[in-house]
């Protein structure tokens, strides 16, 4: 459904606009002040691509995402190789992802209190060193399940810190009216990373078990270097942020999230969306591993997903300008249900490849639209905590998805697991129809009117 009308406004208690600034101009200044004269050389004519700081951050985060994707591809293969069990392989992923669950909420406070540039540098460096220990142990023939799980734990902690730092840093260097474009570019980056990660990960794994982890470490180190070259400050008033006790900052962040109906209503639904999506994909991948599918062919599943995301990222920017986020949400989940149903019926490698590409077609527009809207309405001082809370939808799903997928595969088989996932897609799509704040989100030209004044 397309529309060019202004968003319908509901009562203050039911919408995220309850605490908006007095005027659109004040709203824009509150959420994202214009760069000062010292930054003018990085923002000539308002051009996103001539923004040096943005280019550096995008380059570094792209290298980190590609490296992480290649490493993530190899993890279930190595875990199964070590344990010989799909359930134990799922358990390794579960334990490894617990780090992101434990750190996600505090991560937002950290991102708002420390120098974000230095944080990105330290976190990516530590993650790189952790994966290099896997490389060393693998070359020595001494890699164990606890070692792999421990490094996954460290890596997931790093991811929990990097995600909100990345979003908050983009907010610091990109103009408000360009956020939709910047987030669409990030979706394209995810697509490119997925396209590369699967086949390259499969090729590298075939050449040597530890090679994907070596590339993963290199991607993190690239991000360390690019962050070190950013001159523009990525934080606002750090002295003011640090004056607040960390526990008070955490409480304030939780109060902010709870005060926005859109946050508190969509978060649990999108947790279930991510568990369903990633659990289904874990089950499919482990089924292919168990049945002896060559690693390169398994990697092509990632290529299929990447093709879908890449096509979707091309559509994302125009869709965001013309279609409201609520309609994009239901469209995306509906496509997920239909694609999963096709996989359940066909139950073939070719069916998996084609359906996974179609499944991701509208996901980039939904992700970019929702994230850029929430970024636009959130004050700069709350960006880290907002992004960390939003990241919970993936963080909570991180450890649960492979556990759910592996258990369904082990006890019900791949066909039943896919039928269940298809039914869950349908239920979630219907549930979203009743979330009114989601449907009140207008087109990007209206977002500045929704900026939340905080503290009240």
DSSP result, 334-383 = HHHHHHHHHHHHH-SHHHHHHHHHHHTSSHHHHHHHHHHHHHHHS-GGGH
Which pTM does this prediction carry?
0.60
Contact 105, 389 (CB under 8 A): yes
Cα distances (angstroms) measured from residue 372 to each of 167, 364, 435: 9, 12, 19
Residues whose CB falls within 8 Å of the CB of residue 101, separated by 6 or more in sequence, listed in order: 395, 396, 398, 399
Give the per-residue pLDDT at 42.
45
Return the structure tokens found at 309.
């995301």
- The span from the CA of 273 to the CA of 267, in Å, is 10
Scored b (16 or more CB within 10 A) or e, 430-450 reads eebeebebbbbbbbbebbbbb
Torsion of CA 217, 191, 160, 279, to 10 degrees: -110
Give the per-residue pLDDT at 236.
65
Helix (H) or strand (E) holding 315: helix 295-322
Helix (H) or strand (E) holding 181: helix 179-207
Give the per-residue pLDDT at 245.
66
Contact 311, 366 (CB under 8 A): no
- The span from the CA of 228 to the CA of 209, in Å, is 31
Alpha helices in 52-144 (DSSP H): 52-83, 86-113, 116-139
Question: Which of 403, 35, 78, 390 lies closest to 232 in space, CA to CA?
Answer: 35
- The span from the CA of 142 to the CA of 133, in Å, is 11
Give the per-residue pLDDT at 43.
45
Tens place of pLDDT for every residue, the chain, 456 residues? 433 333 333 333 333 333 333 333 333 343 444 443 334 334 444 577 778 888 898 888 889 888 888 888 888 888 888 888 877 887 887 777 777 778 877 887 888 888 888 999 999 999 999 999 999 998 888 889 899 999 999 998 898 888 888 877 887 788 767 777 777 787 777 777 767 777 788 788 888 888 999 999 999 999 999 999 988 887 766 666 666 666 777 777 778 878 888 888 888 888 899 899 989 988 998 888 888 888 778 878 877 887 888 888 888 888 888 899 889 998 999 999 999 999 999 988 889 999 999 998 898 888 888 888 888 888 877 777 777 777 767 767 767 888 888 888 888 899 999 999 999 999 999 988 889 999 989 888 888 888 887 776
> Position of tokens 């505090």?
106
Contact 105, 164 (CB under 8 A): no
Give the per-residue pLDDT at 195.
72
Give the per-residue pLDDT at 147.
92
Return the structure tokens found at 76.
């279930």
- The span from the CA of 69 to the CA of 313, in Å, is 18
């Amino acid at each position: 459904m397309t529309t060019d009308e202004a968003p319908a406004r509901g009562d203050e208690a039911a919408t995220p606009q309850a605490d908006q600034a007095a005027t659109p101009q004040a709203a824009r200044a509150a959420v994202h002040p214009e760069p000062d004269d010292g930054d003018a050389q990085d923002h000539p004519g308002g051009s996103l691509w001539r923004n040096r700081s943005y280019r550096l951050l995008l380059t570094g985060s792209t290298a980190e995402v590609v490296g992480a994707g290649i490493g993530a591809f190899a993890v279930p293969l190595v875990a199964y190789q070590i344990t010989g069990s799909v359930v134990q392989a799922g358990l390794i992923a579960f334990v490894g992802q617990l780090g992101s669950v434990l750190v996600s909420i505090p991560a937002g406070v950290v991102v708002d209190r420390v120098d974000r540039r230095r944080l990105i540098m330290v976190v990516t460096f530590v993650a790189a060193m952790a994966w290099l220990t896997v490389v060393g142990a693998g070359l020595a023939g001494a890699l164990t399940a606890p070692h792999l799980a421990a490094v996954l734990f460290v890596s997931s902690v790093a991811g929990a810190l990097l995600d909100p730092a990345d979003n908050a840093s983009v907010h610091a260097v990109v103009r408000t009216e360009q956020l939709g474009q910047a987030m669409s570019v990030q979706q394209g980056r995810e697509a490119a990373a997925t396209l590369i990660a699967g086949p390259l990960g499969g090729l590298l794994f075939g050449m040597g078990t530890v090679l994907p982890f070596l590339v993963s470490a290199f991607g993190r180190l690239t991000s360390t270097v690019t962050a070190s070259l950013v001159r523009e400050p990525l934080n606002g008033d750090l002295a003011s942020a640090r004056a607040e006790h960390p526990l008070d900052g955490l409480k304030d962040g939780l109060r902010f999230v709870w005060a926005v109906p859109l946050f508190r209503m969509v978060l649990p639904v999108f947790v279930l969306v991510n568990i369903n999506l990633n659990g289904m994909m874990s089950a499919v991948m482990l089924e292919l591993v168990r049945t002896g599918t060559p690693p390169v062919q398994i990697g092509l599943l990632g290529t299929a997903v990447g093709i879908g995301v890449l096509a979707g990222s091309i559509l994302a920017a125009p869709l965001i300008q013309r279609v409201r986020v609520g309609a994009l949400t239901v469209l995306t989940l509906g496509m997920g249900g239909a694609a999963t149903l096709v996989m359940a019926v066909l139950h073939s490698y070719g069916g998996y490849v084609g359906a996974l590409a179609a499944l991701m077609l509208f996901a980039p527009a939904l992700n970019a639209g929702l994230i850029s809207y929430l970024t636009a309405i959130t004050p700069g001082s709350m960006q880290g905590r907002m992004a960390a809370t939003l990241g919970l939808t993936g963080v909570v799903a991180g450890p649960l998805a492979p556990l759910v997928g592996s258990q369904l595969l082990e006890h019900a088989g791949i066909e039943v697991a896919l039928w269940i996932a298809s039914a869950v897609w349908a239920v979630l799509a219907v549930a979203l129809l009743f979330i009114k704040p989601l449907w009140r989100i207008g087109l990007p030209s209206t977002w500045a009117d929704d900026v939340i004044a905080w503290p009240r």
